[in-house]
Structure 1
Amino acid sequence: MNKHFLLSFLALGLWVSLTEAASAQFGPPGGGPGGPPGFGGGDNRRKTEFTGVTEDTPKGNGKITGILVDSVSGKPVEFATVALISTKTNKPIDGTTSDAKGNFSMTKLAPGDYRLQYSFIGYKNQDSRAFTIAKGTEITMGSVKLAADVRTLGEVVVTGQAAMIEEKVDRLVFNADKDLTTKGGDASDVLKRVPMLSVDLDGNVSLRGSQNIRVLINNKPSTIVAANIADALKQLPADMIKTVEVITSPSAKYDAEGAAGIINIITKKNTLHGLTLNVDAGVGLRASNLGLNGSYRQGKLGITLGGFGRTMYNRQASSLEQTTLVGTQAQRTSQQGTAFDKPLFGQYTLGFDYDLAKDQSLSAGIRFGTRNFIQEQNQLTSSYLADSLVSMTNRDVDRKDLSNSVDMNLDYIRTFKPQQEWTISTQYSRTGLTNNFFADVMNNAGELTTRQRNLNNNTNQEMTLQTDYQTPIRKNQLLEFGAKAIMRQVDSRYQYQVGRSTGELVYDPTNPSGSLAYSQNIGAGYVSYTYVTPSKYTFKVGTRYEHTGISAKANENTPLNIPSYSNLVPSINVSKSLKAGTTVKAAYNRRIQRPGLQQLNPNPNAANPQMIMVGNPTLKPELTDNVELSLSSTIKKTYINAALFGRLTNNAITQIRIPSDTLAGGIITTFQNIGVQRTYGANVFFNTQLTPKWSVNGGLDGYYVYMQGTTPGVDGKSVLISNTGVSIGGRLMSQLQMNKGWSAQFFSFFRGPMPQLQGTMGSFYMYSLGVRKDLNKRGSLGLAAENFLTNGVTMRTNLNSPLLSQVSVTNLYNANVKLTFNYRIGKMSFDAPRRKARSVSNDDVKGGEGGNDAGGGAQPQQQAAPAGGRPR
């Protein structure tokens, strides 16, 4: 790994040196003062328009100077766009950008009648008075005050009061801060509303029917997400989520992993000066929460401090009917279970950013996460052989799933000139996991016969070093490249203890203890090139090379033979802007998917001995080829987007159920690399403004999947099995703004049965209704109800193979009513968006089954480039 990583860094350093030398000799690519402004001014600055004009601008000896300042604070507005427009043709003749002190100038101007237009993200566009330039004229515009426009959004396709959904050049963006009914909830509540995503009753997330995704928070990974996506999402409060970005065709800048795509959750951050404090609180029938977030920003320094806690209380019931073959006879098991969950989640953050100079900035942050999940279960199990009752047991189980995580990052950015920058990003992340259970086993007479304990401690840590460089080439091309190293370590230790009704618990020889030490080192390099044609075609092509080295040992000294591997993953994205706001896109990319901690963990979790879960440390990565074709258009007040997609996956990681060797009637769920998985599907969604204050949006998605793999047969040999099926889902949301600060929202979602290799996962649904009242523009009071017409949701799952059949029914009593309160305290004033150092994004590990502004990477195109999430 070190050889590959060092070669990548040497190549990067050589290219940076050559590019800087070329810039010094031939001038800044993409223009600057006195020339076309090129792409514009960097991640958080407004991108100027590429017009495709090829004729030379008329020259003279006229000159214009001035300074741009904020109309409230009086502070200079840097990197704003200033366009010189002919009053005769109403077309731009020349342009420039303001410097770090707000000053701008244009020279060598030909005589004529003109006006100036000033524009910058976060401010209203403003035109100057008309003026005339004669030969040798020098005009001073003086101090030009720009008024803030807090309503400005980058490349908003959906217009009107509720721009719930936006489409960027390479992603779909869901504006979560406009959602009323998720207040007081967590990130999984938000993701249920996002097009193309579905979240099951356990909180597991799927994108277009696949759980092979990567979830980032503010473009950053976290080891807690790598260990278990569902649990990680419960630690993130819905009130702090600004947008959710769904990236189905990532460019070469992203890590190669996340076969179905990437989900990037952007949390709220402000650009306000002063000291602020935000209070979020909620109480409900299923959960209560309290959050405090403060920020201080003055001059070059910004500091944020936040804390969030949420406790839940929920009851669920389940039934299980399964049959397995014992020799030539069928063993039938019937189980009735009840459970009461008492989870407690918390998250605490501290961050700062500082401008070292006008072209350099530094940012750092630390995030602590904690999860205390306690569940009380009761399992009544009856076993039958040839319809005769063999045994009946009653288990009282106390489960403890505990974790603590820490993420620390330090990032630096150097801007040489607008859209030419170099970044260095570092991150350290560590998660400790404890997954224990204690069980009392009683016979049918209610007598305590056996006690059992499972102890399982895990750690997952990684260190990441990354550097990126981007530079425009002329005014319609962009070159990006970088290198990255990830050093990852996983450690798992487990043991079982048993005892009689009294006395101490001792080591259980039938369930031996064990350990797993797993090291993974990744070296990567990428190059990406974007080209915009005058005929409004945008081409973004690139490739990424990744080398992965793995060393693993089981039980301290037994090496596992897991070979190293290298992958070259290309990506192609093409878009074409048509008339009447219509855009067509086509994309192809290759992705790899490495197994996550939950899938590697060899601990046999037998909290329910009828359904044992155990990982597979010898899993190999899967490789997926993706293709996608989409069309989007705006028809009057309705925005429509439709897409067709296909995925071909080899060595797909999936769940496999096999009969237990030690417990008659028991089933073991593990993970294997099945042979082939092919998926074809389509999705369509819309957003329409019925009135200026009433919007409706929704959509449908569906896919067909074919899966093929092996499973044990009746004679002990592996047999080839396959399964096919169709799954359809959809959502509908409506928002209404009323007078005197009142607003209301309705949301509904359903997901049909989902095919699996050995059966079908059941369908599920949810719906909610909420109202909110704004209080003096500083706070709000809300009331929301979920699944209030029924007592809960039922999901039925069927599994079949040559050796077993299983029907499980889960009833989740999730009807809920919640009251939320939000209030903001502090003195605030508007400030222009600040440049941020880019940060690490490890979008490369598959999650278990069962932070940062969104300033976008440059996407040169005929329209203003998007301000969507930064690819990493």
Structure 2
Amino acid sequence: MRKSIKALFSTAVFAGLFLYHTPQTFAQVPVQGSGANVPATDAAVKGNSKISGVVADSVGNKGIEFASIALFSVSDNKPVDGTTADESGKFSMSKIAPGNYRLLISFIGYKDKAINNIKVEKGKDVELGSITLASSVQDLAEVTITGEKSMIEEKVDRLVYNAEKDITSKGGDAADLLRKVPMLSVDLDGNVSLRGSSNIRVLVNNKPSTIIASNVADALKQIPADMIKSVEVITSPSAKYDAEGSGGIINIITKKNNLQGLTLNIDSGVGNRGTNLGLNGSYRKGKMGFTLGGFGRAFYNKAESTLNQTTFSGADSFLTNQSSTAKDRGLFGQYSLGWDYDLGKNQALSAGVRYGTRNFIQKQDLTINQFENDVLNSSSLRKVDRKDLSGTVDVNVDYIKTYKPGKEWSISTLYSRTGLTNNFDTDYIGESGSVTGGLKNENKNFNSEFTLQTDYTTPINKNQSLEFGAKGIFRTVNSDYKYLVAGASGSYLLDPTNPAGSLKYNQNVGAGYVSYTLSTAKKYTFKIGTRYEFTGITADLGEKGEVSIPNYGNLVPSINVSKALSGSTTLKAAYNRRIQRPGIQQLNPNVNLANPQSISTGNPALSPELTDNFELGLSTNIKKTYLNVSAFARQTNNSITQVRTAVDTLQGAVVTTFENIGKQRAYGMNVFANVYLTPKWTLNGSLDLLHSYMEGQTTNAEGLSEAVNNSGFNYGGRLMSQIQLRQGWGLQAFGFYRGKEVQLQGTRTGFYMYSLGFKKDFANKKGSIGFAAENFMTKGVRFTSDLSSAQFNQTSATQLYNRNFKITFNYSIGKMSFDAPKKKTKSVNNTDVMGGGENNGSK
């Protein structure tokens, strides 16, 4: 927010200087910080004197960058000249004629200050020395109140949800917080969908990462909810963004500190389902700043599940009954080091290194009973240990040069590498309880990408701007997998029935874009652009040979239009085309046999899908209520989704993989409202309605391909209320419901979640302590899935015991001084790979 205020102030001053130094008269020149307008005057008679000085903070005596200086004639109180201070607070005005003048100095967060009785004599300069400004407590309080009321910000191409006031999120992760964001839906596994589509792109501070490309659900577990400042839901991305993410883009903005000084923040929570600890520090001195952050979250849970599955082969039927109990443990963390430096008044350089780790371990007892034509054929017990481990390193270097307000050029680079291990170890248990055999799957993956991007933005005049740029992404995916069986001596040997394999997948993307923005006098805003992307792919399966995947190029236009109606009402309309490329979870050909009757594998021959999106939205403020209503429609060709088929070589088994199924259509609407019942009591909620239709090809009982389709409605909603009480107390309640989800071959039932929490701020505002409870009136959540085809019928149910109680604690050490904000560099923004997770690809 401070950056936007700084830009506003700077733009106004430079506009005034421009008008003054051209052969025309002032219209109304704003005096910065005063809220008043100065009467018009003709250009002053030029002289040869100079007035200079330094504007500084009254407490720290540090220069105030971008402070506004206006010079007035004492005789008629009309403006004569104006300027802004540099990064050291220094200013200078030359060619001043002899006379008596008054100087007015202002900057946001400080009280205005006037220097009277400045006498300029012919040929003599005036040096005013250090001029100190005192901070304005009243101004800062007003800014805080405005920010609190702006829970939802509506922009031409996105909706911004400000999440800093969330109480129950402490101790949770990003998935817990995203459940409260309008238009988003998050299932119990953490898979995110936007308006019913899980083909979205998730960014953190405008930056991608290979770990998010690999599995969105697990990546969100690395981000503590209380570290999130805001969430941007970009339903209609402009041409500046990558063409990926057919459903849209979610950009998570974490909390940052641009002030001077040294701070250390401790954030922790302890609960029966999860524990977290975070330490974040920052140091800034002059032009240079450092940030060091580290946090970790451990969780533990248990679940019970059942599977009833019948497959058909001619006149015979094979029934599988399964039941399992599982204990899940996870440890997630991130560690980062950031650095930024102001090269000069108009240039900035930044760099950062981030390491993220996620370790998910599950121990499962699996009982399998198999029947052939209603006669028990076999019964077995398996103990399965699953390990899903990863480590990710991201390194970025970014540079930006600002020529004038609104005109800038940036270069951004990013290197990201992730090592993934997805293993399972199965022991076969005999009737006596001893181990009779075993099977292991070792599956190692490495993802790496290098991105180089440049962007240029320039205003054409007061109401138009032009953006254009280019980008290259060089991505490599390697996967090696093998199966091992237990030998007679207890050692493990290569399994001859499941040969080892590998995947080497290279993807290079070259892109260029141009985007034009126009604001009219009738309060229309147009943002029109187009982007061209060319993708080259090579895929090699080792001994199995290469996979033929042709190169392809796509032109993706985007149109965003908004109209400011009477009062605070805004009407928006948009169209864009999006591409969705498959991610590693969809491509990896490793066959997962941890459950021999429910097998999963990827498909390296997948092609990208193309989606056309249409959107119409209305947002308004009615007294103390903010209301947003939107309707949308989309059509996807070559849609990537999960397809299940029976296996001829393994009785009763069903294989799940990904296919380009054909067409998919969806339309729906979303209604969101935020009400201020009192100045300290808010109530907000939303309703979602979606209708989906999908069609594709599956295999019938004779093994032949046949057309199949499915359609239906999905609905859901959320409700949250928050009260700020006296003496630093706060209370928040939240509820969420997601209805039945339609899939190509069946449905998945809905689920609900709720929470209640409170916190108490310490008297010195240095920290807080709180308590929160989730699903506290029930043991947990139960959901089922019903799937069918000509080859099989499948019903599965899962009981997740996620009742949770937690205590949270937050405390800050150190002190930061109020100072002018530093310039921020831009960073790489990849939005081009489908994430993983159980339901990715299904809408």
Same fold per TM (> 0.5)?
yes
Unaligned runs of 5+ in 1: 1-27, 38-45, 851-872
Q: 1:554 to 1:131 in 2, by over 3 A?
A: farther
Which whole-Å deviations, capped at 9, do the CAs of 1:385-439 have from their partners, x for residues lacking one? 2211111111110111111110000111111222211111111100000111111
Per-residue deviation, residues 814-854 of structure 1 (Å, max 9, x unmatched):
0000011111111321222210111111111110131xxxx
Task: Confirm or deny that 1:226 pairs with 2:213.
Answer: yes
Which among 657, 667, 672 is matched to residue 654 of structure 2?
A: 667
Confirm whether residue 400 of structure 1 aligns to residue 383 of structure 2.
no
Equivalent residue for 2:161?
A: 174
Q: Which amino acid aligns with 1:836?
A: K
Report the AA paired with residue 585 of structure 1.
Answer: K
Match of 1:264 in 2: 251
C-alpha displacement of 1:449 = 3.2
Q: Deviations over 1:17-44 (max 9, x none)?
A: xxxxxxxxxxx9995561269xxxxxxx
Q: Which residue of 2 aligns with 1:712?
A: 699
Are residue 636 (structure 1) and residue 623 (structure 2) matched? Answer: yes
Question: Residue 189 of structure 1: SS of its match in structure 2?
Answer: helix
SS at match of 1:580: coil
Q: C-alpha distance in 1, partners of 2:641/2:649?
A: 23
User: Which residue, out of 726, 730, 734, partners 2:721?
Assistant: 734
Q: Does 1:243 align with 2:243?
A: no
1:139-218 mapped onto 2 (5 Å cutoff): 143=131, 145=133, 147=135, 161=148, 163-218=150-205
Corresponding residue for 1:854?
none
Preserved contact between residue 626 and residue 674 of structure 2 (Cα < 8 Å): yes
Residue number in structure 2 paired with 1:598 = 585
Residue matched to 2:440: 453
| 2:66–2:820 contact (8 Å) kept in structure 1 | no
| Separation of aligned partners in 2, 1:189 and 1:360 | 38
TM-score between both structures, scaled by the size of structure 2: 0.89
CA distance in 2, matches of 1:701, 1:124: 45
Report the equivalent of 1:840: 828
Aligned partner of 1:784 among 752, 766, 772: 772
Q: CA–CA distance in 2 between the matches of 1:101 and 1:826?
A: 24
Instruction: Name the structure 2 match of 1:722.
Output: 709
Q: C-alpha deviations, 1:670-689, integer Å up to 9, x for none?
A: 10111101110111111111
Question: Could you say if the C-alpha distance between residues 452 and 466 of structure 1 is closer, same or farther in structure 2, counting changes exceeding 3 Å?
Answer: same
Structure 2 letter corresponding to 1:451: G
Separation of aligned partners in 1, 2:133 and 2:615: 46
- Distance 1:516-1:414 versus aligned 2 partners, 3 A rule: same
Partners of 1:153 and 1:258 in 2: how far apart? 40
Maintained 8 Å contact 2:238/2:558: yes
Contact 1:316 1:810 in 2 (8 A): yes
Instruction: After TM superposition, give the deviation of residue 578 of structure 1 in Å.
Output: 1.3
Cα distance change, pair 252–139 in 1 and its aligned pair in 2 (3 A): farther
Q: 1:813 corresponds to which residue? A: 801
Q: In the alignment, is residue 34 of structure 1 matched against residue 17 of structure 2?
A: yes
Question: Does the CA-based 8 Å contact 2:183-2:194 persist in structure 1?
Answer: yes
Q: Shift in Å at residue 243 of structure 1?
A: 1.2
- Give the drift of 1:442: 2.9
Cα-to-partner distance string for 1:318-348 (whole Å, 9 max, x where unaligned):
1111111123322111111110001111211
1:514 paired residue number:
501
CA distance, structure 1, for counterparts of residue 383 and residue 79 of structure 2: 76
2:467 is the alignment partner of 1:484: no
8 Å Cα contact 1:211/1:849 also seen in 2: no
* Cross-structure match for 1:427: 414
Question: Is residue 2:64 matched to residue 1:77?
Answer: yes
Give percent identity, aligned residues only.
59
1:555-574 residue pairs with structure 2 within 5 A? 555-556=542-543, 558-574=545-561
How many residues are matched?
Answer: 806
Partner of 2:5: none
Where 1:288 maps in the other structure, the secondary structure is: strand
CA distance in 2, matches of 1:235, 1:375: 18
Give the equivalent residue in structure 2 for 1:374. Answer: 361
- Provide closer, same or farther for how the CA distance between residues 240 and 496 of structure 1 changes in structure 2, counting only shifts above 3 A: same
Q: 1:106 to 1:74 in 2, by over 3 A?
A: same
Secondary structure of 2:367's match?
strand
> Mean alpha-carbon deviation: is it higher for 107-116 or for 232-241?
107-116
What do residues 522-570 of structure 1 show as CA deviations (whole Å, max 9, x unaligned)? 1111111111111211111111111110011002571110011111111
Query: Structure 1 residues 61, 484: CA separation in 2 closer, same or farther (over 3 Å shift)?
Result: same
SS at match of 1:190: helix
CA distance in 2, matches of 1:665, 1:130: 92
Question: Contact 1:34/1:106 (CA < 8 Å) preserved in 2?
Answer: no
Structure 2 residue 534 is the aligned partner of structure 1 residue 547: yes
1: CA distance, partners of 2:479 / 2:86: 54
Say which of 795, 799, 804 aligns to 2:792.
Answer: 804
**Code of the aligned partner of 1:655:** Q
User: Match of 2:24?
Assistant: none
Supply the distance in 2 between the matched residues of 1:114 and 1:644 (Cα, whole angstroms).
56
CA contact (8 A) 2:156 2:561 kept: no
Greater shift, 553-562 or 584-593, is seen at: 553-562
Write out aligned runs for 1:250-649 (5 A). Answer: 250-443=237-430, 446=433, 448-499=435-486, 503-556=490-543, 558-649=545-636
Relative to 1, partners in 2 of residues 1:338 and 1:86: Cα closer, same or farther, differing over 3 Å? farther
TM-score (norm 1): 0.86
Conserved? CA contact 2:13–2:82, under 8 Å: no
Aligned mates of 2:179, 2:450 — CA distance in 1: 32
Tell me the SS of whatever aligns to 1:581: coil
Q: What's the offset of the Cα at 1:71?
A: 4.5
Letter paired with 1:574: V
Aligned to 2:663: 676
1:772-823 residue CA offsets vs partner (Å, 9 max, x unmatched): 1112211111110000000000111111222112111111100000011111
Q: Tell me if structure 1 keeps the 8 A contact 2:246–2:578.
A: yes
Contact 1:409–1:425 (Cα < 8 Å) also in 2: yes
Question: 2:112 touches 2:133 (CA, 8 Å); kept in 1?
Answer: no
CA distance in 2, matches of 1:789, 1:207: 29
Q: Does structure 1 retain, via aligned residues, the 8 Å contact 2:383–2:426?
A: yes
Q: 1:667 to 1:70 in 2, by over 3 A?
A: farther
SS at match of 2:826: coil
Aligned AA for 1:35?
F
The letter for the 2-side match of 1:354 is Y
Any unmatched runs of 5+ in structure 2? Answer: 1-10, 21-29, 839-843
Q: Secondary structure at the match of 1:278?
A: strand
**Matched position secondary structure for 1:178:** coil
Partner of 2:743: 756
Q: Structure 1 stretch 638-647 or stretch 827-836: which is displaced more? A: 827-836
Higher relative contact order at CA 8 Å, sep ≥6: structure 1 or structure 2?
Answer: 1
Aligned partners of 1:162 and 1:695 also within 8 Å: no
Check the 8 A contact 1:731/1:750 in 2, yes or no.
yes
